[in-house]
Amino acid sequence: NISYLFHSGSRSSKTFKPKKNIPEGSHQYELLKHAEATLGSGNLRMAVMLPEGEDLNEWVAVNTVDFFNQINMLYGTITDFCTEESCPVMSAGPKYEYHWADGTNIKKPIKCSAPKYIDYLMTWVQDQLDDETLFPSKIGVPFPKNFMSVAKTILKRLFRVYAHIYHQHFDPVIQLQEEAHLNTSFKHFIFFVQEFNLIDRRELAPLQELIEKLTSKDR
């Protein structure tokens, strides 16, 4: 069932940040269409595999943009519940707290509320995705040598938004009937990062039990 990709309930079409569009007619657009078609088959392990003859960087780039858009939409559905008052720190349960630093504007990690942190994080990701030297959208423009390390950092940070939603805002997710949508999106994300070894296991610790539960049925 592929409907989760195009899910637009009454509230859930509210995107937190502008959606990042992959230009129609481009090779990356074809890759995105391929990803959506294989997702439709319901086999997520197959869906994340690198299509034959394709460039790994390009496959990672297309999927990273897609996950940004999905998380953007999922977080957009619960922004009313994620406030300075409800979430004065950016956490994923009592054991995990995140402080923001991007290495350029904010070098020393700062403690901030979850909505502020996620705003910093999504703005930072958006800036990376919009940087043509990092994420070239034109055919024949090569990916930079550091592309994979940038992609890994992006995915590591996007994971934290999933972790925060699951730990702090799962009740509204259920009330909004977004649970299946969130689980499918997260499962797709996890299969993808596992397939290409993109996120360190330690980083995934806040959702380890859930990851085991979601992935055990598909070994």
Positions at the binding site for Zn(2+): 82, 87, 164, 169
Binding residues: 82, 87, 164, 169
- Give the residues across from 97 on adjacent strands: 91
Instruction: Classify burial at 184, counting beta carbons within 10 Å of its beta carbon; exposed 0-12, middle 13-18, buried 19 or more.
Output: buried
Q: Which of 120, 117, 116, 189 is nearest to 151 (CA)?
A: 189
Rounded distance, CA 213 to CA 74, Å?
Answer: 21
Rounded distance, CA 136 to CA 32, Å?
Answer: 15
